[in-house]
Amino acid sequence: MKISVIIPTYNEESYLSRCIESIRAQNHPAEVIVTDGGSKDSTLSIAHRFSEVVVEVGETNLGKQLNTAAAIAKGETLLFLHADGLLTAGIFEQIETSLRQANNIGGAFKMKLTGKRKFYRILEAGGNLYCRLTKTYFGDRGIFIRTSAFKQLGGFKEMPIMTDVEFSQRMNSIGKTAFLPGPLITSSRKFDSEGILQVLYKIFWALVAYRLGYPPEKIRVKYYGK
């Protein structure tokens, strides 16, 4: 089974090469597609050096970047991986085993943060439990899906936030999904400068607001502060 790994980027020069190296270390057939949203640093030169395909979308729009790359992907399975994520040994084998089961169309992975704060272990456990129980997956968990199922769903919606959450919910409407042990290693950079209560409040508020139908653009502004 050939897997196409799609990596959306915007100014990811500090992380991209290590991310791609973790894919190559799997020793498994994989196509690497970097889909860039207008990077101003050396991300594109790194992408051209380490990946087979580079797509320049020209704007930072996660849904558009992922859909553009998926449209040209050659793999039977698509894996959407953040540039600050690292695959651990055996992840491709976990995908193959999962997709051999009847009606399984995709899923995501247990995530582990790189930071050493004790709070990160709580955040990992809580987030992983939420994903397992609800079958709702965040992008930093490495969402994967059969290419045929992706096309059936019509890809990602171009939303200002919650793109991955909305997509994973639709995945569950057409087949079974699995939350695999991984782990997928993710940078803790987005939490490093924030306090425990601030992080928990932002995540909880964003999920509740989205489920209550609050406009995604307003959720984005409140979550990111811009």
| CATH at residue 28 | 3.90.550.10
> pLDDT confidence of 104, banded at 50, 70, 90?
very high
Contact (Cβ atoms closer than 8 angstroms) between residue 28 and residue 57: no
* Paired residues of 30 in beta bridges: 3
Shared-domain flag, residues 218 and 148: no
Report the SS3 class of residue 165: helix
Positive or negative: CA dihedral 55, 61, 67, 73: positive
Shared-domain flag, residues 182 and 200: no
Shared-domain flag, residues 209 and 183: no
pTM score above 0.85: yes
Helices in the chain by DSSP H: which ranges?
A: 16-24, 43-50, 62-72, 91-99, 118-134, 147-153, 163-171, 196-211, 216-224
Shared-domain flag, residues 16 and 120: yes
Shared-domain flag, residues 153 and 218: no
Shared-domain flag, residues 99 and 152: yes
φ and ψ at residue 105, rounded to 5 degrees: -115, -10
> pLDDT confidence of 226, banded at 50, 70, 90?
low
pLDDT digits (tens, 9 = 90+) for 138-177: 999 999 999 999 999 999 999 999 999 999 999 999 999 9
Mean pLDDT, all residues of the chain: 93
Q: Please give the average per-residue pLDDT across 109-126, as a whole number.
A: 94
pLDDT at 196: 77
Shared-domain flag, residues 45 and 69: yes
Q: Which of 134, 23, 147 is nearest to 88 (CA)?
A: 23
φ and ψ at residue 200, rounded to 5 degrees: -60, -40
pLDDT at 209: 86
Contact (Cβ atoms closer than 8 angstroms) between residue 186 and residue 112: yes
Residue 209 structural domain: 194-226
Strands 144-146, 104-113: parallel, antiparallel or unpaired by DSSP? antiparallel
